[in-house]
Amino acid sequence: MQRNRYHHLGWFHGIELFEASFSNQTFARHAHEGFAIGAIGEGAGGYQCRGESMVLPAGSLSLMNPDEPHTGRAAADRVRYNMLYAPEAAVRAVLGLRDLRGFAEIAPQDRGLRVTRALARLSRSLNSPTEIAGRLEAEEAVHAVLAQAFAHYGGAELRQSGREPAAIRTLLERIEAGVADGESLSLSVLAEQVGLNPSYLIRSTTRATGLTPHGHVLRARVDLARRLLLDGTPAAEAAIAAGFCDQAHLIRQFRRHYGVTPGALIRH
C-alpha cells in the first residue's frame, strides 16, 4: 500500500516536499529542474544514477543536482523517505548564497541525522498546522534542510551568524505586536522588516537568544494565553485568542514552557 503525499509551498519560492512510503512503486528515468534533497527513514531505496546501481539504506541521504537523470524504486519490502525539491533560485534566496556548487556525492550517510531531522520537522509542520505560526515553522524547517545539506555536503560557505542587537530587538518587538494582533507571521516578512536575510536572521537570533524566531512566537503566544487566563478567560477561548488551534495544543505548549497545565495556574 502506498502512502505518498506531495506538498507545494506556493508562498515560499515554490519549494516542495514529497513524503514517500511505498513497496512496489517505481520511477522511470527522470530528472528534476531543481535540487532534490532526501533522507531515507525506513527500509532502503534503489537508484540507477551516474552509470551506477546503488542501494540507499536508512540513514542515507539522496542528494541530486538539477537535471540529473535517475530512476527510483524500493530496494527492500518497503521504503519511507522525505524528499525536498528546491529550485536553484530558491536555494540562493533562502540561504543568501551567491556561489552554489551542488552535490558531489549522491548518497552520503547523514552525519548526526541532521538533514533527516530537519526534513521530519518540515513534514510535521506541514501535516499538523496546529497554530497560526505553522507557516513560520515550515519556513525555518526548509532553511534547516538547505543549510545542513549545502553546508555539509555541498561545500557552501554560509555567512557566520553575527551580533545584531538592534535587528533582534526590532524582531522581538514585531513578534510581540504581531501575536497581540493575531497576525500570521512569516519568516520572509519578519526578515524584510528587520533588514536581514532570513537564513542569517535565524542564525543570529538563535545565537543571541537561544531561540529561533518561531520559538519566540510560541513563547509570545503562551505568554498571551497566560495573561488571558489570569484575566479570567476560559482556557478554550484563551487558546484561540492566542493563536492555537485548540485547548489541547495550548495545554501542551503551556506545560512545555511553565511545567504545569493551565488548570494549575492559580490566581491570588
Q: Check whether 92 has a pLDDT greater than 70.
A: yes
- pLDDT for position 133: 57
Residue 58 pLDDT > 90: yes
When the pLDDT of each residue in the chain is averaged and rounded to a whole number, the result is 92
Q: What is the average per-residue pLDDT within 65-93?
A: 94
Percent with pLDDT over 70 in the chain: 97
- pLDDT, residue 87, reads 97
Cα three-residue angle 208-209-212, rounded to 5 degrees: 105
Listed in sequence order, the residues at least 6 apart from 195 whose beta carbon sits closer than 8 Å to its beta carbon are 167
Q: Does residue 168 surpass a pLDDT of 80? A: yes
CA distance readout (Å), 156 to 117, 149, 193: 20, 9, 26
- Checking if the pLDDT of 76 tops 60, the result is yes
The C-alpha cell at 49 is: 544514477
Of the candidates 132, 113, 128, the one whose C-alpha atom is nearest the C-alpha of residue 61 is 113
Q: Which domains does the chain have, with CATH numbers?
A: 5-131 (2.60.120.10), 159-263 (1.10.10.60)
Task: Average the pLDDT over 199-226 and give the result.
Answer: 95
Using one digit for the tens of pLDDT, what is the confidence trace for 116-129? 999 999 999 998 75
Q: What is the pLDDT of residue 185?
A: 87
What is the average pLDDT across 27-47? 94
- b/e code 206-236 from CB counts within 10 Å (16+ = b): eebeeebbbbbbbbbbbebbbebbeeebebe
Separation in Å, CA 204 to CA 23, 113, 185: 43, 23, 18
Q: Are 132 and 180 in contact (CB under 8 A)?
A: no
Q: How far apart are CA 119 and CA 91, in angstroms?
A: 15
What pTM, to 2 d.p., does this model score? 0.88
Nearest-CA neighbor of 154 among 92, 228, 247?
92
- CA-CA distance, 221 to 114, in Å (whole number)? 28
